[in-house]
A = this chain, B = another copy of it.
């Protein structure tokens, strides 16, 4: 008598979570140092000292004020700080009314999708894509339409999007820097995308929202990350401090409904409604205040950059094929056989935990998370070598 869909989602946890759980058990069995766990995107860089100082200082405030409810959209001062930051940094006229603090980007995405779709609509995702997108699209009773990224650069494939956007399309979810590929969409690519959307809106007499999932915005290796609302006004940004400030478990981020869209107020009102509908009351308040104080804190990208160099150099020398990542902390590596799951299973025998690409909506690849210790990457190289030799022999 339980809900079948919910039972199914609970019974089949995501491939990432499953491999992560396997890794925990395996480490307990044979020792942490003997498992090369590339499964999960849990930041390996510590949260900045400023975040700790913020918590310690805030804990001196009167507890009733500190821990009390805020309005559903967040504390007014925090929304103002976030809006000021967006305005200062990206040159868009961000107002605090258009900022809605969320329990991370996941909440932001689930809320945004439900806010701008009606049941039966279509939401486009770019494959490979973060698997939970499909779950939240299903929750909104919409169809998830997978459009492959352009190969080999994994930019948006404008022609494929042209073919996919139709009379039921309500939104396109994009994610740059990208999980799992590490691609960053160029200004030129986004410009072409915006031109397509403008044409499609006119042709279809329909609004098409871009939901821009941006938890990796700060994790880049030199590439420019254009601000999507500057390119396409009908953009909803879902931001998270999970990666930039290494606070993934604290669940803090925001939705910014671009002031530049002609229906900005309607969309932010629907966002507030969707938050209620999905059971959110307010974003965790202590960390609302932490991000207020840490809004200009730089992300520590150096150790991810070092890991990236180490891994790409090592796997390149061993003959692996991969996408050179411009951002995020994932390496997208070609599996050594067509069946990614089978390849992941064979890697497991070498204690290498690599997420098969199937759950990202494409076959034939694995995702290698390099937000781990440098030593693990170094010590994993013989295992990667043995795996390659196994396939070559």
**Which residues in A have some Cβ–Cβ distance to B below 8 Å?**
1-11, 13, 17, 21, 40, 42-47, 51-52, 55-56, 59, 62-64, 66-72, 103-104, 106-107, 109-111, 114-118, 132, 135-136, 138-140, 170, 206-207, 246-251, 263, 266-274, 276-287
CA distance A278 to B284 in the complex (A): 17
Q: Are A284 and B70 in contact (CB under 8 A)?
A: no
Whether A266 lies near B2 (C-beta < 8 A) is yes
**Residue contact B139 to A285, C-beta cutoff 8 Å:** no
Partner of A104 from the list B7, B51, B267, B281 (CB cut-off 8 Å) is B281
5 contacts between A and B (CB under 8 A): A1-B263, A2-B115, A8-B273, A10-B273, A68-B248
Q: Are A273 and B62 in contact (CB under 8 A)?
A: no
A106 to B285 alpha-carbon distance, docked (Å): 15
Cross-chain contact of A64 among B44, B51, B138 (Cβ < 8 A): B44
| CA gap between A59 and B51 in the complex, in Å | 10
Bound-state CA distance A69–B247 (Å) is 8
Shortest A138–chain B CB gap in Å is 7
* B-side contacts of A44, CB under 8 Å: 64
Contact (Cβ within 8 A) B42 A62:
no
Interface secondary structure of A, over-half rule:
helix
**Contact present for A42 and B68 (CB under 8 Å):** yes
Determine if A274 and B3 form an interchain contact, defined as CB atoms under 8 angstroms apart: yes
- Give the residue name and chain of the B residue nearest to A11 (CB): B269
Bound-state Cα–Cα, A311 to B83, Å: 43
Whether the pair A246, B277 counts as a contact (CB closer than 8 A) is no
Chain B min CB distance to A334 (Å): 28
- Does the CB pair A285–B52 fall under 8 Å? no
Report the copy number of this chain in the oligomer: 2
- When the two chains form their complex, are residues B115 and A6 in contact, meaning their CB atoms are under 8 A apart? yes
On whether the beta carbons of A116 and B2 are closer than 8 Å, the reply is yes
Do A55 and B63 have beta carbons less than 8 Å apart? no
Q: Are A207 and B285 in contact (CB under 8 A)?
A: no
Shortest CB distance A104–B (Å): 6
Instruction: Give chain B residues whose Cβ lies under 8 Å from the Cβ of A170.
Output: 1
* Residues B59 and A114 in contact, CB atoms below 8 Å apart: no
Known: A64-B46, A249-B70. A107 touches B3 (CB 8 A): no
Q: Which residue of B lies closest to A289 (CB)?
A: B249
Q: Would you give the shortest CB distance from A213 to chain B, in whole angstroms? A: 12
Pick the contact of A249: B6, B140, B284 (CB < 8 A): B284
A68 with B263: CB separation less than 8 A:
no
Q: A7-B266, A56-B56, A106-B280 given. 6 additional CB < 8 A pairs?
A: A2-B115, A10-B274, A13-B72, A46-B64, A52-B59, A249-B284
**A64 to B247 Cα, complex, angstroms:** 8
> Contact: B72 with A17, CB < 8 Å?
yes
Question: From A44, which residue of chain B is reached at the shortest CB distance?
Answer: B64
Separation of A64 and B40 alpha carbons in the complex (Å): 13
B286 touches A250 (CB 8 A): yes
Q: Which residues of B contact A117 (CB under 8 A)?
A: 3
How many whole Å from A75's CB to the nearest CB in chain B? 9
- The answer to whether B269 touches A1, judged by C-beta atoms less than 8 angstroms apart, is no
Within 8 Å CB of A279, what residues of B?
A: 103, 106-107, 109-111, 136, 139, 278, 280
| CA–CA, A263 and B2, complex, Å | 9
For A109, what are the chain B residues with a Cβ–Cβ distance below 8 Å?
279
Task: State in angstroms the CA–CA spacing of A248 and B63 once bound together.
Answer: 11
Q: Is the CB of B55 within 8 A of A21?
A: no
Is B62 a contact of A267 with CB atoms below 8 Å? no
In angstroms, Cα B107 to Cα A277, docked, is 10
Q: Separation in Å of the A187 CB from the closest CB of chain B?
A: 27
> Is B269's CB under 8 angstroms from A7's CB?
yes
**Complex partner residue of A248 from B11, B17, B67, B251, CB under 8 angstroms:** B67
